[in-house]
Amino acid sequence: MLAPKDFLDALSGTASRLFSGDNPLPKSEIESQFKALLQSGFSKLDLVSREEFDSQMVVLARTRARLESLEAKVAELEAKLNPPAE
């Protein structure tokens, strides 16, 4: 996995090389090389797709709801086992 700072440094260095020079590249060539650079960099980072992120958020929401329900049941059972002394 590439550290974010290293990724940004590599991106910056490559972008500098793309945009400098005696013989400037056509816009389409710069875009194509820049896109390839980004894809290469992103593949080295520990990223998940938006689809995977969204599905995990749904699982987390369900888990939290279930946990809250179980906590309420435990509290109810504890209250039945240990009624308040009057």
| More confidently predicted of 48 and 52 | 52
Place of tokens 């940004």: 8
**pLDDT digits 0-9 by tens, 16-50:** 776 666 556 677 777 787 788 778 777 777 788 89
Is the whole-model pTM more than 0.85? no
